[in-house]
Structure 1
């Protein structure tokens, strides 16, 4: 602007003139139209360059407008150049944004449910033109908030109040699925979704608490019953073990007694057999001794007999016939003192009589 103003004037030379008061000299300056035109053109060019260039920051996309109408062209991150006064660029953020929204709904059993939905979302970079054309930058209040309310109501209506607590992961998954499909229609991508605790009316909360207390009492009673049953089974098992141990001990004692009895029996048998064998050996020894004794006695008798025979033979050879006859008579009649035998005769007794018993 200063260039245009001062460039349109030029210095004409030292033309001196008096001022109205009649004193002082003034410098004469003349107007130059060419300088003004150049200045205007330079200004217009500067404005055009400024309007034609720009920069799209990281995490944003540029929507190109042509005379204010949305085009299909989208500018990525970095410096861009467009036709000035024809095209303009509107920047749209595609970064992940967090949004928390309280939601109220009714369960399947008509219980009022309060919860807070926290979600992270971002604009689809490929559809920022559509979002800008239909929603501009007002997509949170016009799309996201109503979609959260509708999704929560649609899903909680299919669950009982208790199921909203017991099946919380399933409820969250279904709400996330419904909400994601609703947002995707409008070019918004859902990243994550979280649910705070479900809140119910005071009366229902009290009933749930009472039910939970009863359930806990039932669980404790069941656990106590299980404990008693386990202890009974343990006692029964211990009794069975003691019984089995007693049986095994009795069986062991029985086997020991049997073995002892059999040992004593075998010992008695062996002892009896030993005694019998000893008696047999003794009897055999005695018999053998008797036989030996008999043999010895027989030998002695034979020896005596032989000696007697030898003696008799010796006597027979040494004694006279008269002595023999005298001996015979003496044996036959020991009381007879005198025997008269005729002269020249033998004994009146024959040899046959002498060989017989009196």
Structure 2
């Protein structure tokens, strides 16, 4: 049975229409990591709170989620709940600290270490604080824009769980795929089960879209992505849709952002089961559209570093991309975004200018 929430009516559904493949009057736009360290209000409030304390305190998570919506009122077309992909490994029984990036003091290194993972994860119990934050944020948004929920992809989470943090070579995580292929597949599906249940919980709590971040997809060859990552990504999409249907909950658009897995765009579009495919800044939007066809929406894909180039460069780049991709026509099934997350050194006023340029140049001429 679908949960009953008294949410304010939505007044801006632009991003939902784009994700459904519809033509829109302009491209909806949001920015990955838009609630983050580039904002002075974020840095000020962050001084007094540990990172995971924020994630686990619904009022704080809601406040951080709302900061960019307030600052860029009328310019952003979505909020994304403030959290981190590493809450899933925490729910599975691993310790994760932020220092400043994610660090696991006791990573998984041997097959024996898999026994340290919880055999059965009660996702609602372990991650219920995220659901509470989503419900609170939906109410606080007052229908201004939709709220996006998210999780990390199984391969990206597995890489962190084995490496113990970020890595340049991913030697430890990738060697697992070669040494223990069947055990790796089983682990990826185990993580995928938790991710799917987690996304369902977020949607029941009020998330109106959901995104899966496969941040380290770029580290896999085409074969390894198809063999290891893609099946678990498909599993998430299938399980989410199946559970929502069985529980009488309306489906929401799902986005897959497999950064760097550009050689598999056609497979992602045809087989993964997501409504929207996110692109990094390396790949041309028009080329991507010709490959994936009209059946899925595209998200992206401005280079995040253009935000350091000054107003003239921002204007020029947004105009170039919009004109080359849209050709003066109204956008269809396109969600404008950066090709990766915004970085801490960006001037917030330059992001505002970027958003204004997207509004201007993505509208039909």
When normalised by structure 1's length, the TM-score is 0.17
The higher relative CO (CA closer than 8 Å, separation ≥ 6) is in: 2
Larger radius of gyration between Structure 1 and Structure 2: 1
Relative to total residues, which structure has the larger helix share, 1 or 2? 1
When normalised by structure 2's length, the TM-score is 0.17
Relative to total residues, which structure has the larger strand share, 1 or 2? 1
